[in-house]
Amino acid sequence: MKIKKYDTFVMGHISIDENIYQGEIVKEIGGAVFYSSCASHSIGHKIGILTKLSQKDRKYLEAFNISKEDITALDSRNTTSIRNIYHSEDRERRTCTALSIADPFTIDDIPDNIVSQIYHFAGLISGEFNNEMIKYLHNKGKVALDVQGFLRTVGKNKEMIFKDWKEKKEYLPYIDYLKTDAAEAEIMTGSKDRKKAAEMLFDWGAKEIMITHNKEVLIYNGKKHYTCPLKPRNLSGRTGRGDTCFSAYITERADKEIEEVLLFAAALVSLKMESPGPFKRTRGEVEEYIKKFY
């Protein structure tokens, strides 16, 4: 069996999204695994993917900008599908409804021939991953985790609501890179103050914390808070903001200092937010954006 080596192995459900904004309905491929992998691949990193979807929806895998040999797509009874109704012009307020959910991932789903520097949990809905996968992969490489896939729960009428991750204190010590947005950080810590929330998450065991906000991105490593503003000229590509930012950050962070990587990730996601779909631009375009706007 040929060993496959990656900078990041991204795991999560692809989603058939139905986005409704100002009365217009747009169907598109989404999911944290999609936005995350496309962004890091575009700036030159070697990316592997683990996802699940139904046999009839396998055509949607063509939306990835990654070689088929690097995509492990397992069969599922259903493909995850989410309806997002945006209620504000800045797309910060939305109602999310789970139309269907793919089968969860287990340790047995992880291919034996994968070697990766980082294992990225890019989930959408609580229950997507067996929690023990975190401890298992912690022994194989660094673990990056977006808490959306552990907080977002399907409630009544299939509407998605956010609930605290009950086992957070058991699993946070196994996480090298933790990503939340401002609302998720408050749910986990009880604090509206993002800096304080990041400190609490660090104290509970996470090594490096990213908290995204509509105005800036914050990083905390237990010693110092780092922030960098977001500077998009429009928000037509707002969907996938956090996934794109986190993925760019963790892959660039392997050999660079926090300040430099945070600036690059913030500029990249600002550029991404100016057009719908995943980030498929070049490293050079991000560097030009930094020169122009930062």
DSSP string for residues in 177-217: EEEEEHHHHHHHHS-S-HHHHHHHHHHTT-SEEEEE-SSEE
pLDDT digits (tens, 9 = 90+) for 53-71: 999 999 999 999 999 999 9
Entry pTM: 0.95
Dist CA 173 CA 199 (whole Å): 14
pLDDT level of residue 118 (50, 70, 90 thresholds) = very high
Q: What percent of the chain has pLDDT over 70?
A: 99
Helix, strand and coil percent figures for the chain, each rounded to 5: 35, 30, 35
Determine the pLDDT at residue 87.
78
Strand partners, 24: 21
pLDDT level of residue 28 (50, 70, 90 thresholds) = confident
Domain ranges of the chain: 7-293
To which residue do tokens 């990225």 refer?
A: 120
pLDDT digits (tens, 9 = 90+) for 155-199: 888 999 999 999 999 999 999 999 999 999 999 999 999 999 999
Dist CA 102 CA 51 (whole Å): 9
Determine the pLDDT at residue 90.
63
Q: Which two tokens stand for residue 139?
A: 């022994």
Dist CA 112 CA 77 (whole Å): 23
Contacts of 150 (CB under 8 A, 6+ apart): 123, 126, 129, 165, 168
Task: Give, in words, the CATH class of 7-293.
Answer: alpha beta
Dist CA 168 CA 3 (whole Å): 33
